[in-house]
Structures are given as structure tokens and as C-alpha cells.
Structure 1
């Protein structure tokens, strides 16, 4: 997954206060990634990527958050 795609995903999930149980939010992420970048990812793939970012790849997660804070 490209960095800019992860930024888009993180932006949507943070705005909606995603906790892993709201399926409607993940549908928005899937549609947004397809419209903006032309990639098709399943909800399960994105859910796993979100979990990996928070738990295993915490440095990258912090870097993504910093990019989002600079944009706002």
C-alpha cells in the first residue's frame, strides 16, 4: 500500500473515530481509495492494514499522523 493511500485511509478513519466495528466507515474508505487512486482493496485487507499500523508499525503510524496534522 502506498504512503499516500495510507494517509487517505488514516484521515477517513480518524475523522470517523473508527474502532474496528463500524462497517459503514470501511465502505467509505474502499470507495475513496478506488475513486482517488484507482485501487481496489477489500474491507478485510484495509482492516488488517489499519490494525498492523496501530500495533506493529507504530513509527509509520506516527509519521502518517504528523503528515495529517501538517495538512490541517
Structure 2
């Protein structure tokens, strides 16, 4: 998953206050990634990626948050 795709995913999930149980929000992420980048990812893949970012990849998650803060 590219960095730009992850930024898009994190942006949507942070705005919606995603807690891992809201299927509509994840469907929105899937739809936006497909529309904006032409890639199809399953909801399970995105859930796993979101979990990995928050738990294991703190540096990359901080970097994404900084990018989002600068864009606002």
C-alpha cells in the first residue's frame, strides 16, 4: 500500500472516529481508494493495515498524521 493511499485511509478513519466495528466507514474507505487510486483492497486488508499502523508502525503513523495536519 502506498503512502498516499495510507494517508487517504487514515484521513477518512480519523474523521469518522473509526473503532473497528463500523462496516459503513470501511466500505467508504474501499470505495474512495478504488475511485481515487484505481486499487481494490478488501475491508479485511484495510482493517489489518489500520491495526498495524496504530500498534506496530508508530513512526509511519506519526508521519501520516503530520501530513494530514499540514494539509488542514
Q: TM-score range by the shorter chain?
A: over 0.9
CA shift digits 1:14-51 (9 cap, x unpaired): 00000101010000000000000000000000000000
Counterparts of residues 1-72 of structure 1 (less than 5 Å) = 1-72=1-72
Segments of structure 2 that go 5 or more residues without pairing to the other structure are none
The alignment covers a number of residue pairs equal to: 72
Where in structure 1 are there 5+ consecutive unaligned residues? none
Q: State the 4+ residue runs in structure 1 displaced beyond 6 angstroms.
A: none
Distance 2:3 2:67 in 1: 10
CA distance in 1, matches of 2:63, 2:71: 13
What TM-score does the superposition give when structure 2 sets the normalisation length? Answer: 0.99
CA distance in 2, matches of 1:55, 1:15: 19
- CA-based RMSD of the aligned residues comes to 0.3
Instruction: Please state how far the C-alpha of 1:4 moved relative to its aligned partner.
Output: 0.2
